[in-house]
A and B are shown apart, each in its own frame.
Chain A
Amino acid sequence: MLVLLKRSLILAVVAALLAVPLMPHFIYPVFAMKVMCFALFACAYNLLLGHTGIVSFGHAAFFGTAAYVTGYAMRELGLPPEISIAAGVIGSAGLGAAIGALAIRRQGIYLAMITLALAQLVYFVFLQAEFTGAEDGMQEIPRGVLFGLIDLRSDFNLFYVVMALTGAGLWLVYRIVNSPFGEVLRAIREHEPRARSLGYAIEKYKILAFALSAGLSGLAGSLKCIVFQLASLTDVHWHMSGEVILMTLLGGMPTVFGPAIGAILVSALHHYFDALGAWVTIVIGLIFILCVLVFRRGVAGQLHHMLQERRPTAPSAERRNLKEGQHAQV
């Protein structure tokens, strides 16, 4: 029942998204693309926060690095978008592995501080480097032609490309979470010494989780760079790291796609309450307080929890259909 409900929900979201470019005055397609990028970013971030129990405060570094790498590849080197996006993702994943390898030597708040410090280093590199345009950002990035076939200069084409890539990214997140590898990550989250005692090389798992999370965040950053034809310091600034934590917590840490809901919420608040000016911050703050007090699992997490409580047999029935040791998370 629960699975059916979720499937139909996902189908409804996909159908709604497919219709967006056909009615640009109802939902502005560029805004919808931005939301998709952030949804992927938040879900990728949750690989670490929700599923491995690692609080990274430096994810903007991965998001922004990919944006700059993609922008550089497209504008300066004239590479096609598919290669530029791949370069962005690989760059971010590499950076994620490097930062991860350093950060996981500590735990908890210290780990968060190390990621923040390293992300600030990355920020200053982009602030000072010649090719980034510092505070102006890297502007006038061409959108290019995907695979030599699809002209991305049209918002219509770009929308479906962004949707497909975001979908692929989210599917990958889902696969990672519901794999034996994801199971080990959760074991590390729940009880690290026990996971170690079972013979798992937890450092390697953590670094890989970091790299995967960073790579997928990078995909989101690369897409955003192509959508807006701009890579700027906003993408690497620590505000962005804070924003993604917020999205994840609002959406629901224990779920796979919950953070996407958080991303939609936060972006929509910024977009539609624009006219309130400084009050947006206060509105978001109040919503956040409400969220922490009333549904601490986040929007999706709480819904999931409530549905499970109402049908005590549902989760056990669900579990029976799965292989030994696998725990479905949607």
Chain B
Amino acid sequence: MVKSLRISLAASAALAFSALPSAAQVSDDVVRIGVLGDLSGIYNDLSGKGAIEAVKMAAEDFGGTVLGKKIDVVSADHQNKPDVGAAKAREWFDTGGVDLINDLANSGVARAVAGVAREKKRHIIVNGASNMGITNELCSPYAIHYAYDAYSLAHGTGKAVVEQGGKTWFFLTVDFAFGIGLEQQVSNVVRANKGRVVGAARHPLATTDFSSYILQAQASKAEIIGIASTGADAVNAIKAAVEFGATKNQKLAALLLWIEDVHSLGLPAAQGLLLTNAWYWDMNEDTRKFAKRFFDRVGKMPNMAQAADYSSTMFYLNAVKAAGTDDPDKISAKMREMKVNDMFTKDGYVRADGRFVHDMYLWQVKTPAESKAPWDYLKPVATIPAEQAFQPLSESTCPLVKK
């Protein structure tokens, strides 16, 4: 008995680490929007509560009902695990009465859910993830890639850095669909501009100790250290690079930075970095108005994915209203006819492969002296016009594209 007690204690200790948090609510048959985001992991900041609130704001601003039916918002945590996300999406579509899944931060999860959505013929809108698969091999009439993607990041930050003279690159890449996809896209841009990729180090998601990876990057003698990760990973990598003195001889190119990342890095460490974002809160009167309302609810400024969560939910609800039904195929057709004009973008539209096309922007992080107020972090560098910001339709491998 003593033995089994010991085993019991060992197992309970193991359990304490093993179960991870998750959350979900389910209710009646209405137009139901599920927010599947990271509510507990390293992408919690850029997705999380902000994403849920943004979708709720859209549902409220729409009036709470569409076609006389209540709009309901449910949420769940995918824990950055594709299996958890796919299982939740499957359950939502099968028995939860969910019509649309939004946000989907984390490329691995987004890919897995895209497969489920295609099989179940229900809508997803990807705002938090960048993987190109959504509009290529995994495309379907039901998937829309809304906010940004790896191609637009590569053709924003990547291209700008190469044009400033960064010809040799070494990548610090987070080892899953997001990082690898981004590294590929940026490598294409570097090579197209007669640059050279000298190597890459791959690290797992949520790495805290970057020392060995930074040493590899320094040993490579590349001019540019491309950071193909985001959120806490990118923050930790940048801090480690600064601490190891890598920034003396080499330049950092953070390939996907969010306003929250700049906030947690602080301007002294982040100043001068280039970043590609689809949206920034301080662009014009409309964005500031939305940002203020969001700030009052969440306590921080919205990022581009959260603004896109709001905008895309509105877009979907408008399409439901215009289609006069919640039939997924009819809504898909409507969404490909309608244009989006709101605080997120002007004249945005959805292509055959599911790509939502709009202008992207290249920003630079302000110096501490330039920043006048809290969250005043970015200054515009260039606008990347919609036609150049995204993968040309002719290059898409999506079978829905007629060639």
Which A residues lie within 8 Å of B77 (CB)? 277
A234 CB contact (under 8 Å) in B76, B84, B111: B84
Q: Digit string of B170-189 for contact with A (CB within 8 Å is 1, else 0)? A: 00000111000000000000
CB distance from B35 to the nearest CB of A (A): 14
CB–CB A243/B87 < 8 A? no
- In the assembled complex, the Cα of A248 lies from the Cα of B1 at a distance in Å of 15
User: CB within 8 Å of B: which of A266-281?
Assistant: 270, 274-281
Which A residues lie within 8 Å of B115 (CB)? 139-140, 229
CB–CB B8/A249 < 8 A? yes
User: Is B12 at the interface (CB under 8 A from chain A)?
Assistant: yes
Q: In the complex, which residue of chain B has the Cβ closest to the Cβ of A280?
A: B19
Among the interface residues A229, A240, A279, which one has the most CB atoms of the partner chain B within 10 A? A229
State whether A246 and B91 are in contact (beta carbons under 8 Å apart), knowing that A274-B24, A296-B8 are contacts in the complex: no
- In the assembled complex, the Cα of A240 lies from the Cα of B11 at a distance in Å of 11
CB distance from A76 to the nearest CB of B (A): 15
A245 CB contact (under 8 Å) in B14, B40, B107: B14
- In the assembled complex, the Cα of A25 lies from the Cα of B91 at a distance in Å of 11
CB–CB A296/B204 < 8 A? no
CB–CB A135/B176 < 8 A? yes
CB–CB A230/B83 < 8 A? yes
CB–CB A135/B23 < 8 A? no
State whether A288 and B8 are in contact (beta carbons under 8 Å apart), knowing that A242-B15, A281-B15 are contacts in the complex: yes
Which A residues lie within 8 Å of B84 (CB)? 234
User: Is B322 at the interface (CB under 8 A from chain A)?
Assistant: no
User: Is B86 at the interface (CB under 8 A from chain A)?
Assistant: yes
- In the assembled complex, the Cα of A235 lies from the Cα of B84 at a distance in Å of 11
CB–CB A281/B19 < 8 A? yes
State whether A136 and B176 are in contact (beta carbons under 8 Å apart), knowing that A230-B112, A234-B83, A242-B18 are contacts in the complex: yes
- In the assembled complex, the Cα of A284 lies from the Cα of B18 at a distance in Å of 11
User: CB within 8 Å of B: which of A1-39?
Assistant: 24-25, 28, 30-31, 34
User: Is B369 at the interface (CB under 8 A from chain A)?
Assistant: no
User: Is B4 at the interface (CB under 8 A from chain A)?
Assistant: yes
CB distance from A239 to the nearest CB of B (A): 4
The count of A-to-B residue pairs whose CB atoms sit within 8 angstroms is: 136
CB–CB B90/A134 < 8 A? no
Which B residues lie within 8 Å of A98 (CB)? none
State whether A136 and B95 are in contact (beta carbons under 8 Å apart), knowing that A284-B15, A288-B15 are contacts in the complex: no
Which B residues lie within 8 Å of A281 (CB)? 15-16, 19-21
User: Is A292 at the interface (CB under 8 A from chain B)?
Assistant: yes
CB–CB A285/B16 < 8 A? yes
CB distance from B103 to the nearest CB of A (A): 17
Which A residues lie within 8 Å of B81 (CB)? 232, 234
CB distance from A183 to the nearest CB of B (A): 21
Q: In the complex, which residue of chain B has the Cβ closest to the Cβ of A31?
A: B91
Q: How large is the interface on B (under 10, 10 to 19, 20 to 34, 35 or more residues)?
A: 35 or more
- In the assembled complex, the Cα of A177 lies from the Cα of B382 at a distance in Å of 72
CB distance from A258 to the nearest CB of B (A): 13
Q: Digit string of B1-39 for contact with A (CB within 8 Å is 1, else 0)? A: 100110111111011111111111100000000000001
State whether A243 and B15 are in contact (beta carbons under 8 Å apart), knowing that A274-B22, A277-B22 are contacts in the complex: yes
Which A residues lie within 8 Å of B17 (CB)? 239, 242
Q: In the complex, which residue of chain A has the Cβ closest to the Cβ of B22?
A: A274
User: Is A94 at the interface (CB under 8 A from chain B)?
Assistant: no
Interface size on A, residues (CB 8 A): 49
CB distance from B249 to the nearest CB of A (A): 31
User: Is A55 at the interface (CB under 8 A from chain B)?
Assistant: yes
B21 CB contact (under 8 Å) in A34, A235, A277: A277
Which B residues lie within 8 Å of A31 (CB)? 91
- In the assembled complex, the Cα of A130 lies from the Cα of B365 at a distance in Å of 37
A139 CB contact (under 8 Å) in B4, B20, B112, B204: B112
User: Is A102 at the interface (CB under 8 A from chain B)?
Assistant: no
CB distance from A78 to the nearest CB of B (A): 17
Which A residues lie within 8 Å of B22 (CB)? 270, 274, 277, 280
User: Is A289 at the interface (CB under 8 A from chain B)?
Assistant: yes
Which B residues lie within 8 Å of A253 (CB)? 4
Which A residues lie within 8 Å of B12 (CB)? 246, 285, 288-289, 292
CB–CB B7/A249 < 8 A? yes
Which A residues lie within 8 Å of B5 (CB)? 292, 296
CB–CB B18/A243 < 8 A? yes
Among the interface residues A140, A284, A289, which one has the most CB atoms of the partner chain B within 10 A? A140
CB–CB A25/B16 < 8 A? no
- In the assembled complex, the Cα of A175 lies from the Cα of B131 at a distance in Å of 49
- In the assembled complex, the Cα of A132 lies from the Cα of B244 at a distance in Å of 34
CB–CB B95/A25 < 8 A? yes
- In the assembled complex, the Cα of A246 lies from the Cα of B81 at a distance in Å of 22
Which B residues lie within 8 Å of A288 (CB)? 8, 11-12, 15
CB–CB B23/A277 < 8 A? yes
User: Is B108 at the interface (CB under 8 A from chain A)?
Assistant: yes
Interface of B with A (CB < 8 Å)?
A: 1, 4-5, 7-12, 14-25, 39-40, 76-77, 81-84, 86-87, 90-91, 94-95, 107-108, 111-112, 115, 138, 175-177, 204-205
A-B residue pairs in contact (CB < 8 Å), sample of 17: A134-B176, A135-B205, A228-B90, A240-B18, A242-B14, A245-B14, A274-B23, A278-B40, A279-B21, A281-B15, A281-B19, A281-B21, A285-B12, A285-B16, A288-B11, A288-B15, A292-B5
Known contacts A135-B175, A232-B82, A284-B19; 17 further A-B pairs (Cβ under 8 A): A28-B91, A133-B108, A136-B108, A137-B82, A137-B83, A139-B115, A234-B81, A243-B18, A246-B11, A246-B15, A249-B7, A275-B23, A275-B25, A277-B21, A280-B19, A285-B15, A296-B1
